[in-house]
Structure 1
Amino acid sequence: MTQATSEQDLDGPVDPTAPPRTRGRRRGPRGTAIAVAAFALAAASVGTAAVLLPGDGDSGAESGRALPPATAEVLRQTLKDTKNVDAQLGYGTAQSMTGRLPGTLTLLPKSGAEITRGKALYALDNQPVVLLYGSLPAYRALAKGAEGLDVKQLEENLRALGYTGFTPDEEYTDATAKAVERWQGSLGLRKTGTVELGRIVFAPDAVRVAGLEAEPGQQTGPGQKVLSYTGTAKAVTAELDIADQRLAKQGTPVDVSLPDGVVVQGTISEVATASKPAEGQKKAETKIKAVVALADAKAREAVRAYDQAGVHVVFTADTRNDVLTVPVSALLALAEGGFGVEVVEGSTSRYVAVTTGLFAEGRVEVSGSGIAQGAKVGIPK
């Protein structure tokens, strides 16, 4: 925002030795206010702009010019870069579950059903496809001699379901195979000691069926969608414009306002980019999708009465505590470079250089030796 302006364009005391033409063209920074306001608004959308004027930037008191048409007080306050966004209370982002085995769908759960460890997600040819807990998706058949994290996940689940006689580790031993045979027998499966690919589905925790993508009696096969699911914990999903990406950072706390006016705290647990294709007259667009977890007991209790509901989320990108602020419109681009404000003192005023910080809520954080709480700054037209 530095202006390439000749010395005669600078405001301040007039050099009595300068030619009359120079004095006649004196311009104060007030004429640059519109450009500064535009810059400030742009800066507010991306965060902080730090600008430092060389020297003390104080042009001294001047009584020979008109004062600004309005003034505002320099405040000391907490400044927050926030945005209130419409959101949806539900169970978070749904994922599709695809089959890995061929067969006829003979059993499907109801939408909204919660399925826990060891229970059937659905059945193919009257044989269950079972949910187990684990972070690594099932990607291969498991049999004697196999090694890896998926083996350990299987063994941990077998132990949690009451099957013993082995040590949960990353090795699929004879003892593991015998435990698998006992587990298969309890499900009515053939006792092979081998877990075929597609017989189990690993998920981090219990799941809630969000919707069905197939029907009983339908033939299915590897790669075909069967159902969609979410976690069982209540969560809030919000969409943000790409320009507001700074607001959505995983682990950041947010405030959630419920339909009854109660405000609870949540934490951003997931951030993803979602593209929406063009539809009719609407152009394609990209959004930031943020999932907010309601982890504490107070929040969980507050949302218990709601299944699906519209809520509001207040995202906070940055906070400055106990700082001096002025309206963004008070900033002036000084010809020497950098920003300043016009401090009004009675019937006189002077320009003071400032360093800017956070832009938010129509105000900007400022600091400098010539600016103090309670001072009046000019607001140009």
Structure 2
Amino acid sequence: MPITTPTPPPSADANRSELELRVERRVPAAESLTAASPSFIRRFRWRVVTIIGILVVGVAAATAVTSPSDGGTNTSTGEVTIRAVEAQQRDLVETTDLDGTLVFADVRLVTAGAEGMITATAVDGVALARGDVIYEVNASPVTVFFGDVPFYRSLSRGSEGDDVLLLEQNLAALGHHAIEDDDGEEVDTGFTVNGEFDRATANAVRRWQAAIGVEETGVVRPGDVVVVTGPAMVSSIDVEIGDRVQPGSPVASLNVNGTETTFHSAHAGEIELQVGSGEVSSGSVLYTVDERPIIAIVTTGAFDRELSERVEDGDDVRILEQLLVELGYDANGDLDVDEEFDDATTEALTDFEEDLQDTWDDVNVDGILSIDEFVIVEPGTRVDDVVVRDSTNVAAGSVLFTSSTKGNVRIVNTAISVADQEKLVEGAEVDVEFPDGSIATGVVAEIASSSTTDPTNPSARPTLAVEIALPEVPPSTAGLNELDVEVKIVDELAVAATVVPASALVATLDGGFAVEVVTGSASTQFIAVDPGMFADGFVEVTGIEPGTAVVVPS
């Protein structure tokens, strides 16, 4: 359970409004009541504690104070000065504290892709977006692309593959897929995001090269870009300007914060996105182009031809038939999900097209799935940030929306003794306290299955390594690494407890406990209470209500 207070609490004697009263007081004889002894306090488990939600208020004035007695016997009378405070209602928390180290979560080592001299670098702590320059070799910038496929070869006309697809996605995301006319409108160039390096791709590469100030070759070399999955921050620069590097030489370390992927239009024209935020479902209308619906087909299979009764059997036919059945179009039960496009397939597809035509007049009802009527969407694709708004005229390849996942900004490495391992489980929330007193909530990501012991310390206890994920950290620590922090594990929690200073507790000779209460009749009275949890100089009690004025030692 996380601790919600952002700062350490005051002690029981701090920030407490008190009243000192000069009163005539009748108190019991010494044999009736005694102050709670240190041995009593020690009978309670003491651990490092934190107090939540401190609210300290003043006590109302009291005058002559009289203590209880048996028929007026065994008492004495005298003028005394007392101090009183109000019982409070708040949470008490006991924690086990572990020393930890805050580090970056997903650190990627950047190595040089080409031989040369370092002529510029980014600086530690700077955020890197797609297209940003991380360093320069021989005055040639090395920029950041997003994706999960490294550039392991030179790419030029005729190249095909996932690395080409990644190149095209980044070129389009940076706006190099199209050109602008005199009115600032996008002009389609024939560029498509399809993994094939054609003439339009080469021209887009040249536009990108012109933008970053390098020779416009239309060829992309492995050392021209650094590929990371998403937005990153420079955690360290490992070279100096003027250093010479070889391919593979360490240049920098980046802390990568999640992933960011883009979805691109396969069409040019007036685009209107038809889906809201969330995961894209197969068979839905993803967008319209010039008021014509484009269907999303969610699959990892090959789907690159027109489908009709004239095509050969294939897995794409089976995917289409399965989709139609899932959408409720099964040709009155006659559609078999197989690899054959038969009359039942045509009937089911025609029924689907007719329903689409009820909303969009330009739907062609012919029982044929044309290549320009659908787009392939990878499973799990989500609409997170919409780029193209309603009724926007765009070129083919334009980014319609992005999908992103946010990774853990930081992790905390710590260790827990084997004896205490039951206090932590993977997935549990814990609080992490920073040197400035701020607190962030983390999640236990991993607990080692085997223990280790410090070989330099013969008396050291065996411990288990623990990794705690932190989605966010306080702004004051944003650029810091290897920072000492404290992990707080809640051992015991008393929620909305009635508490008094521990010094107000009095032990009776019969083994019970009491507090001296200021009554409304200008006297005091000893009230029996049951003590509960102790924390930071306070004790939880039952038997009195919050707001009750209790006497504390002067």
- Per the normalisation by structure 1, the TM-score is 0.50
Which structure carries more relative contact order (alpha carbon 8 Å, separation 6+)?
1
| Larger Rg, first or second structure (1 or 2) | 2
- Per the normalisation by structure 2, the TM-score is 0.35
